Structure 1
Amino acid sequence: MSELAKTKISILDLAPIRDDGGPQQALQNSLALAQHAERLGYERFWVAEHHNMDGIASSATAVLLGYLAAGTSTIRLGSGGVMLPNHAPLVIAEQFGTLATLYPGRIELGLGRAPGADQYTAHALRRERSGSADDFPADVEELQGYLGPRTRNQRVVAMPGADTNVPIWLLGSSLFSAQLAGMKGLPYAFASHFAPRMMHEAIRVYRNHFKPSATLDKPYVMLGVPLVAADTDEQADYLVTSVYQRILALIRGQSLVQRPPVDSMEGLWLPHERAAVGDFLGMAVVGGPEKVRARLDVLLEQTDADELIFTGDLYNFDDRLRSFEILAQLR
């Protein structure tokens, strides 16, 4: 049995907006992809909080999760993640407590430490609230208190929220959240889908600092992986050019709407930009079925990850569906 066959697989969706589409189609596609993932036996389907990005429609994460939950029945749904510095913990507890009350056993909460926005957007989100990444450990503790059992002298209660015990994950692209997740005995998801450089060290730090908790008795690691699976290696190499163009636009500070694939990226990027895109997508798995399986088996042998969560922002939605179908069939 291959390593992949023994490993849980999930999907992280950013509700991408095409250059010829809009947010309504993007959100409808997100639901269709979640339903597809449910049919194929994926473990969970997460959506990510991003703001002030014209190519991403998942900004109101909790609202989108409600839409997805109403249109699915069994797959676990969550945030990958909510950027906690942007929000008061009580508000997040009430939002996810409401979701967990409506859809018991299916909602989970992935938390990020970075604001994930420029200073103008951060100010627009917070106004006078002095949210900071430095507050993250205290904010996580406060949030856990709101979602856990109500105590006798508790003056602020999340309702809904109290006693829902929504599962909390910590997300990170550096070592800080890895250490915190280990010390708190929480599951840890590393953002290797866009920041792979510190992956191995973060996994080591998390496992070395892990302390058993009421949540987990041993470490649980999930890794982000960009996926472009197609019926042939050549087709995958063509489809991935849409992903290259999007990351290139991010690096340049340009519009992030999805662009169609091209026969060649030559002339579209400079050598240093090509290198930067390559670093960003260092964990990308691109190819036909056998190439994808071989690459993922090597990754799993090297990391002993418990779960992989895949991004796959292909231009044509049918290609996205097929990519995740190929992956599911490899297990």
Structure 2
Amino acid sequence: MAWVRHDLDFLGGHRLRRTRQFGWSRAMVRETTLTPANLIWPLFVIDGTATRQPVASMPGVDRLTIDMAVEAAKAAAAEGIPALALFPYTDPSRRSEGGEEALNPDNLVCRALSEIKSAVPEIGLIADVALDPYTSHGHDGVMEGEIILNDETVEVLVGQALVQAKAGCDIVAPSDMMDGRIGAIRRALDSEGLEQTMVMAYAAKYASAFYGPFREAVGSGGRLKGDKRTYQMDYANTEEALREVEQDIAEGADMVMVKPGMPYLDIIRRVADGFSVPVFAYQVSGEYAMITAAGNSGVIDREAAMMESLYAFRRAGARGILSYFALEAARKLNG
């Protein structure tokens, strides 16, 4: 077929498939790397002992009592996962309009932070700073009628961050999207002698349909009155995300997060290219649930899709990824 040979002359000797023909050559020229050190494992904690409570909408994910969370932390550390992110399932009797339980230094998440840090001191601990696990209405802030009060919420968030840091938290992670909360939390930490505590800002957190299973996991879904679009970002916007990131960095954020992950790879890429600060992605509950459901039904290869999705975050520029797949993925990476 002379026309084929003639066509190939334009390649000038360059055949890009050559390096793809063997596993070892593909590995040798791979542009993007993924290791357990890039993974953060979110855990849901509940009161009690020796209990694992399945989250129905997230097959394979359980709420754990603190003693079980300690064992999970040991397993994570053994696989080289550097940090855990803790989220509490608060007893409904401890929820209130103002989310006061968030300020209790003996609340569930503070006790979990303390016990995990004592048992597994080498693993980093990240605590969510937001009021939705503690409010009776399921919102991330203090309400007056139908309005989320920004400054009054920030005041509570500052107190929440302080009790978490004193309990052993290494990174406080404000996920509420109130204006000015990063600077207020940073100043409060420094004034309390907690200047070594890091701040991971959920800087570009979108109002998303992908959070549903998470809200079930922390017990806030059925409580939510209205929606969160007055404080979480409009998913149509990109430039606004860059302004949010810029503001949080200026206020003292050590690292920033984009949430959700997969539908917002373009945002991760723009933030990574535009700012000299570590960027993290959160592969949220809905993303996990979709991959797991499709895998369990045989529509896709669950493990292959899991790894491909994690590499996508790294390729987009994320230094680290919060993922419910973290332990499973780390074990695969470790062979």
Is it true that 1:178 corresponds to 2:251 in the alignment? Answer: no
C-alpha distance in structure 1 between counterparts of 2:86 and 2:115, whole Å? 12
Once the two structures are superposed, the pairs formed by residues 49-198 of structure 1 within 5 Å of their partners are 60-83=108-131, 85=141, 88-100=156-168, 107-114=170-177, 133=178, 136-137=179-180, 139-148=181-190, 150=191, 161-171=192-202, 172-174=204-206, 175=241, 177-184=244-251, 186=253, 187-192=255-260, 196-198=262-264
1:34 to 73, 77, 80: 73
- Give 3-state SS (helix, strand or coil) of 1:4's partner: coil
- Give 3-state SS (helix, strand or coil) of 1:180's partner: helix
TM-score norm. by structure 2 comes to 0.53
In our comparison, the structure showing a higher alpha carbon Rg is 2
Is it true that 1:309 corresponds to 2:322 in the alignment? Answer: yes
Once the two structures are superposed, the pairs formed by residues 133-282 of structure 1 within 5 Å of their partners are 133=178, 136-137=179-180, 139-148=181-190, 150=191, 161-171=192-202, 172-174=204-206, 175=241, 177-184=244-251, 186=253, 187-192=255-260, 196-201=262-267, 203-205=269-271, 208=274, 210=275, 218-225=276-283, 240-241=292-293
C-alpha distance in structure 1 between counterparts of 2:76 and 2:68, whole Å? 12
C-alpha distance in structure 2 between counterparts of 1:13 and 1:222, whole Å? 17
Deviation for aligned residue 1:63:
2.8
Letter paired with 2:185: L
CA contact (8 A) 2:74 2:120 kept: yes
C-alpha distance in structure 2 between counterparts of 1:9 and 1:168, whole Å? 18
Is it true that 1:10 corresponds to 2:73 in the alignment? Answer: no
CA contact (8 A) 2:81 2:330 kept: no
C-alpha distance in structure 1 between counterparts of 2:298 and 2:189, whole Å? 50
Counterpart in the other structure of 1:315? none
C-alpha distance in structure 2 between counterparts of 1:49 and 1:91, whole Å? 17
CA contact (8 A) 2:175 2:205 kept: no
- Output the aligned Cα RMSD: 4.2
- Residue by residue, what CA displacement relative to the aligned partner does 1:88-129 show, whole Å, maximum 9, x if unpaired? 2442243134234xxxxx611111125xxxxxxxxxxxxxxx
C-alpha distance in structure 1 between counterparts of 2:323 and 2:125, whole Å? 14
Q: CA 1:50/1:182 → structure 2, altered by over 3 Å: closer, same or farther?
A: farther
Letter paired with 1:37: A
Percentage of matched positions with identical amino acids: 7
Deviation for aligned residue 1:307:
1.2
Q: CA 1:27/1:81 → structure 2, altered by over 3 Å: closer, same or farther?
A: same
Query: Which segment drifts farther, 42-51 or 82-91?
Result: 82-91
C-alpha distance in structure 2 between counterparts of 1:189 and 1:97, whole Å? 19
Letter paired with 1:13: L
- Give 3-state SS (helix, strand or coil) of 2:42's partner: strand
Deviation for aligned residue 1:206:
6.8
Deviation for aligned residue 1:220:
0.6
CA contact (8 A) 1:61 1:82 kept: no
Structure 1 unmatched ranges of 5 or more:
101-105, 115-132, 151-160, 211-217, 228-235, 245-260, 266-284, 313-319
CA contact (8 A) 1:96 1:166 kept: no
- Give 3-state SS (helix, strand or coil) of 2:54's partner: coil
Deviation for aligned residue 1:144:
1.1
C-alpha distance in structure 2 between counterparts of 1:48 and 1:178, whole Å? 23
C-alpha distance in structure 1 between counterparts of 2:156 and 2:289, whole Å? 43
Letter paired with 1:173: K
Q: How many residues align?
A: 224
Deviation for aligned residue 1:308:
1.6
